[in-house]
Structure 1
Amino acid sequence: MPHSITLSKITWATPDGHTLLSNLDLTFGSERAGLVGRNGVGKTTLLKLVTGALSPQAGSIAVDGTLGLLRQSVQVGPQETVASLFGIVEALGLLGRAERGEAAGDELAEADWTLEIRLAAALARVGLDAEAQTPLAALSGGQRTRAALAALVFRAPDFLLLDEPTNNLDRDGRRAVIDMLAGWRAGAVVVSHDRELLETMDAIVELTTLGATRYGGNWSAYRERKRLELSAAHRDLADAEKHAAEVARTMQAVAERKAHKDSAGRRKKARGDLPRIVLGGMKRRAEATSGANARLAESRQAQADEALASARERIEVLQPLTVAVPPTHLPPGRTVLKMEGVTAGYLPERSVIRDLSFTMTGPERVAVTGPNGSGKTTFLALVTGALRPWAGSVRCFTDFAVLDQRVSLLDPAQSIRDNFRRINPGADENACRAALARFMFRADAALQVAGSLSGGQLLRAGLACVLGGGTPPPLLILDEPTNHLDIDSIEAVEAGLRAYDGALLVVSHDEPFLEAVGVTRRLELSAQ
């Protein structure tokens, strides 16, 4: 019998009373389903409800099968090893005693002689070079994520529940997870913004404030369906605008006819050729008819306005962000950045970067790539002057702006508007509001305090403040900009960067992002 996860009429609210999921119906079968949606819409909450870590205020959840959950971060104790994560410390201890001839007869009957082979196969499946006794504290965050995923695969659950499994992984780690899921034949529910990973899915489930919508097929199929929905929404908007105009013309014609009849009635009354009782009846009927017509007209106008507003709202939800930013006028031949024979690090006995030379000229778009630990963050620290080289020279010949994962150029205590005016002191209020509106911070949205924004909103606000001014810096430096962002936010960032004509230096493992922003060259770093 096929395994399944069924959520029926689920409602869940935060402790402060904010309803996150309302009357939600959703079923997952033995398939690989990508769960997408904006940050804060309830994707992680849904996984917690399925596992029982949270209880719904209403509705029911039925799970037919076993579950294996991978959280966004793997917390480890100082004594924990890979074997601890797999839950096989005692079983490996038994094998060790058996090999030394120290195990009793009844223990030998319980020994799993395939354990070490299956452990090695699970680790190999996620591309992790580790052993059972490897301390988890000795692994990087990305390696621990891979180890935790290998432990899930080792247990062979009926459903994998994965929450952003490729976050903080380098290129090899992402590829290992993608390949593993591509070959997974049981059920999987994967919360992710990684479009490469979502291409391996059998279905995409989009979670919004209105509920959940299932789209058959992978990410490309989902985007095509959304494109068709956008085309239909444009047609609906055109129809709504046409209908609203027709209602307005009809109301105008009715008003003109009424004005004409009223004028004729006043002329008859002035001539005095009708009895007063007849005139009184005509007046009452006219008033009643006028009132009914006014109510009908108001109802039709309200319906037309509501349909028009709904069509416009749907367009705003479906329409990808496009922005126009002022030019930097960076000429093609100008040297932007030059590094010669640079060696640097943090500990005297161990360099992170050794004898590196690199030149960036004109509006190039360069991706800095390499495995975790290869020195990408160190490279950016050298470029920005946060770290001085031990040997060699680093020279930046233009103004630049840095957008790190925390968008630390924004003051978290200030509003988006105030941050913009601080970063662009020459911009007046109208220019500020126009620039922020291009990045979807309209009216009161521009008054939100930076510290209250989600990750996606924060990066979009940072881009607005850097690129929306009268003269954007000729060099923009980005450090893993898509980590922890939802897909809508990633696509908004991509749109802003496509409109930027300056030089771009970006550290990222997200290949679709690098392709979307038009990277023209790569600097591949290797671990020392």
Structure 2
Amino acid sequence: MPASVSLHHLSYSTPDNQPLFTGLELSFGAERTGLIGRNGTGKSSLLRIITGHLQPSAGSVTVQGSIGMLTQSVQVGPDDTVADHLGIAGELARLDRLEQGLGTIDDAGEADWTLPGRIETALAEVGLPALAPERLLSTLSGGQRTRLALARLILAAPDIILLDEPTNNLDADGRQAVVDLLHGWRGAAIVVSHDRALLREMDAIVELTTLGARTYGGNWDHYAERKALELAAAEHELSTAERRVVEIDRKIQAVAEKKARKDGAGKRKAARGDIPRIMLGGMKENAENTSGEGARLANRLRADAAEAASDARSKVEILTPLSVTLTPTNLPAGRTVLQADGLTGGPDAASPIIREVSLQLTGPERVAIAGPNGSGKTTLLRLLTGALPASAGVARILVPYAMLDQTVSLLDPGLTIRDNFRALNPESDENTCRAALARFMFRADAALQTAGTLSGGEMLRAGLACTIGGDNPPQLLILDEPTNHLDIHAIEQVEAGLRGYDGALLVVSHDAAFLAAIGIGRTIALPMNPV
């Protein structure tokens, strides 16, 4: 039977009883399906329910075939090895016992002598050299560990693979390894991703929203086209329905005013004695009957129009676009922003990752630092900012700057967004603070959220608000993998914020679509270091 996953009236709520999705009816077959949606809609939770690691609040899951899953991140212990990460430590130990003549009959019966060759092939397929099985995971970068996890899937060869943000932390070659893995996959694949390039490789897209789940045949480009048409139609329907409510309200008001004028005229006539008493009683009764029928008709029309507007509104997910106008940095075009000469260094001074790097930024340049995993991109940023002492060479930043790393560590997680802004901008008054935060959609009580409770997208948006949103934005902004763990809507918000910034940008990112959207004009490539 072909590999498949079926969800039957599936619902799930978080431990604090916040519903993520309700009554999902979905089927995944032997094709590559991209699962998209904003952070918090339950994509990762849905994968964990499919694997059985989470129990749904209601409904059931039917799985035909074996499952392998690549998670977003893995906790690495100090003694964890490559063999542990590949899930073959026990198998290799069995082969080792047999080679030493210490194996049992069970060892001989269960031994897989093809394993060493398959390991080498799997590592090569994901772009890794032949790593020693006993090598500690802590000596590998996050991207290299992700590639190892992909190799584990190749070794296990399950019928169904679940990939949760597989291209996070991966360089261009690593991302291509994910694409190649999916190209050759003959079973079912469900891929949670915000990587638009990867989503273009899908056969179908399933979108999770606050309105439920919707399946679109085709890849990301087909989804984006269909979604735009659907959204335009839904917004037109909503606009028409809301105008109808306003028109009916206006007519009801006009009829009420006309009746009030007519009743007033009748009362004045009656007061003058122009109408016989017997006729007054009949006219009053007729007016009351007519008024009652009119009111009932008006109420029915108003209720029908309001119901139509409510139905139309329920089809539109409210997503507020971010369009930011920022205070200019007044960075002169010819001003030297950053200068590095012969920069050398790394966490281990005896074995520097960065060797004799020289670079210069002038004026409002937008520069990307590129390179394969392990080439030292983050290390270079730390050397440039002085967070890591250089063992040779010199680096100088000659203008005010701010750096947002992958965790936005410049924000104190125990403070509110408002208090973080005031701490980072002590010269700004309360009005400036509130205006800056409002530009990045932290209005009123939203500005009083504690930073540690924010999602990844909200945290980065708060970091941008606290650095470039005020009256004196820095003339250089340094970003280290800013789109990791952000959903597509959040990435688009960040792109909008950065497009409004007129200072210099120095960015580490493997997201080609993001770099294009923020107008990167120059790329500095770092060479690969030995694994």
Structure 1 residue 404: deviation in Å? 1.6
What is the match of residue 448 of structure 1? 449
What is the match of residue 267 of structure 1? 268
Structure 1 residue 237: deviation in Å? 4.4
Moved more, 385-394 or 483-492: 385-394
SS in 1 for 2:352: strand
Structure 1 residue 323: deviation in Å? 2.4
Q: 2:466 matched to 1:469?
A: no
Deviations 1:221-278 (A, max 9, x none): 1111222223224423442453244224312321232122212221232132445455
Q: What code does the residue aligned with 1:22 have?
A: T
CA contact (8 A) 1:34 1:204 kept: yes
Q: 2:287 matched to 1:286?
A: yes
Please give the alpha-carbon distance, in whole angstroms, between the structure 2 residues aligned to 1:326 and 1:186. Answer: 52
CA contact (8 A) 1:10 1:24 kept: yes
What is the match of residue 207 of structure 1? 208
CA contact (8 A) 1:199 1:219 kept: yes
Structure 1 residue 108: deviation in Å? 6.5
What is the match of residue 144 of structure 2? 143
Q: What does 1:62-77 correspond to in 2, within 5 Å?
A: 62-76=62-76
SS in 2 for 1:326: coil
CA contact (8 A) 2:479 2:508 kept: yes
What is the match of residue 49 of structure 1? 49
Moved more, 363-372 or 315-324: 315-324
Structure 1 residue 365: deviation in Å? 0.5
Structure 1 residue 511: deviation in Å? 1.5
SS in 1 for 2:373: coil
Structure 1 residue 201: deviation in Å? 1.0
Q: What does 1:393-412 correspond to in 2, within 5 Å?
A: 393-412=394-413
Deviations 1:183-242 (A, max 9, x none): 322111111122222121111111122221111111111111222223224423442453
Deviations 1:140-171 (A, max 9, x none): 33222222221212222110011122222233
What is the match of residue 219 of structure 2? 218
What is the match of residue 187 of structure 2? 186
What is the match of residue 502 of structure 1? 503
CA contact (8 A) 2:210 2:317 kept: no
What is the match of residue 29 of structure 1? 29
What is the match of residue 125 of structure 1? 125
Stretches of structure 2 that go unaligned for 5 or more consecutive residues are none
Please give the alpha-carbon distance, in whole angstroms, between the structure 2 residues aligned to 1:324 and 1:312. Answer: 29
Please give the alpha-carbon distance, in whole angstroms, between the structure 2 residues aligned to 1:410 and 1:313. Answer: 36
Structure 1 residue 298: deviation in Å? 5.4
Deviations 1:317-368 (A, max 9, x none): 3564332222223222221111122223333322232222111011110111
Please give the alpha-carbon distance, in whole angstroms, between the structure 1 residues aligned to 2:23 and 2:452. Answer: 32
Distance 1:130 1:427, change over 3 A: same
Moved more, 304-313 or 136-145: 304-313
SS in 2 for 1:459: helix
Please give the alpha-carbon distance, in whole angstroms, between the structure 1 residues aligned to 2:431 and 2:311. Answer: 29
Q: What code does the residue aligned with 2:459 have?
A: L
SS in 2 for 1:117: helix
Stretches of structure 1 that go unaligned for 5 or more consecutive residues are none
Structure 1 residue 409: deviation in Å? 2.7
What is the match of residue 196 of structure 2? 195
Please give the alpha-carbon distance, in whole angstroms, between the structure 1 residues aligned to 2:415 and 2:78. Answer: 40
Distance 1:278 1:434, change over 3 A: farther
Q: What code does the residue aligned with 1:70 have?
A: L
Distance 1:95 1:431, change over 3 A: closer
Q: How many residue pairs align between the two structures?
A: 528
Q: What code does the residue aligned with 2:509 have?
A: S
Distance 1:387 1:311, change over 3 A: farther
What is the match of residue 158 of structure 1? 159
Please give the alpha-carbon distance, in whole angstroms, between the structure 1 residues aligned to 2:119 and 2:221. Answer: 35
Please give the alpha-carbon distance, in whole angstroms, between the structure 1 residues aligned to 2:178 and 2:207. Answer: 22
Q: What code does the residue aligned with 2:417 have?
A: I
Structure 1 residue 383: deviation in Å? 2.7
Structure 1 residue 280: deviation in Å? 4.2
SS in 1 for 2:205: strand
Distance 1:278 1:221, change over 3 A: same
Moved more, 83-92 or 206-215: 83-92
Moved more, 243-252 or 391-400: 243-252
Structure 1 residue 110: deviation in Å? 6.0
What is the match of residue 491 of structure 1? 492
SS in 2 for 1:350: coil
CA contact (8 A) 2:144 2:373 kept: no
SS in 1 for 2:437: helix
Distance 1:3 1:242, change over 3 A: same
CA contact (8 A) 1:76 1:136 kept: no
Please give the alpha-carbon distance, in whole angstroms, between the structure 1 residues aligned to 2:209 and 2:133. Answer: 44
Please give the alpha-carbon distance, in whole angstroms, between the structure 2 residues aligned to 1:518 and 1:332. Answer: 16
CA contact (8 A) 1:367 1:506 kept: yes
Deviations 1:261-309 (A, max 9, x none): 2122212321324454553454455345445545654565566567667
SS in 2 for 1:409: coil
Please give the alpha-carbon distance, in whole angstroms, between the structure 2 residues aligned to 1:471 and 1:305. Answer: 47
SS in 1 for 2:402: strand
Distance 1:429 1:315, change over 3 A: farther
Distance 1:48 1:270, change over 3 A: same
What is the match of residue 516 of structure 2? 515
Please give the alpha-carbon distance, in whole angstroms, between the structure 1 residues aligned to 2:106 and 2:203. Answer: 46
SS in 2 for 1:11: strand
Distance 1:130 1:81, change over 3 A: farther
Q: What code does the residue aligned with 2:183 have?
A: A
CA contact (8 A) 1:338 1:358 kept: yes
Structure 1 residue 80: deviation in Å? 5.0
Please give the alpha-carbon distance, in whole angstroms, between the structure 2 residues aligned to 1:444 and 1:314. Answer: 27
What is the match of residue 340 of structure 2? 339
Please give the alpha-carbon distance, in whole angstroms, between the structure 2 residues aligned to 1:312 and 1:105. Answer: 69
Distance 1:86 1:247, change over 3 A: same
TM-score, reference length from structure 1: 0.90
- Identical aligned residues as a percent: 61
Q: What code does the residue aligned with 2:337 have?
A: V
CA contact (8 A) 2:349 2:391 kept: no
CA contact (8 A) 1:74 1:148 kept: no
CA contact (8 A) 1:382 1:389 kept: yes
Please give the alpha-carbon distance, in whole angstroms, between the structure 1 residues aligned to 2:113 and 2:419. Answer: 66
Q: What code does the residue aligned with 1:347 have?
A: D
Q: 2:109 matched to 1:115?
A: no
Distance 1:523 1:103, change over 3 A: same
Structure 1 residue 122: deviation in Å? 1.8
Please give the alpha-carbon distance, in whole angstroms, between the structure 1 residues aligned to 2:290 and 2:469. Answer: 56
Q: What code does the residue aligned with 1:177 have?
A: V
Q: What code does the residue aligned with 2:199 have?
A: L
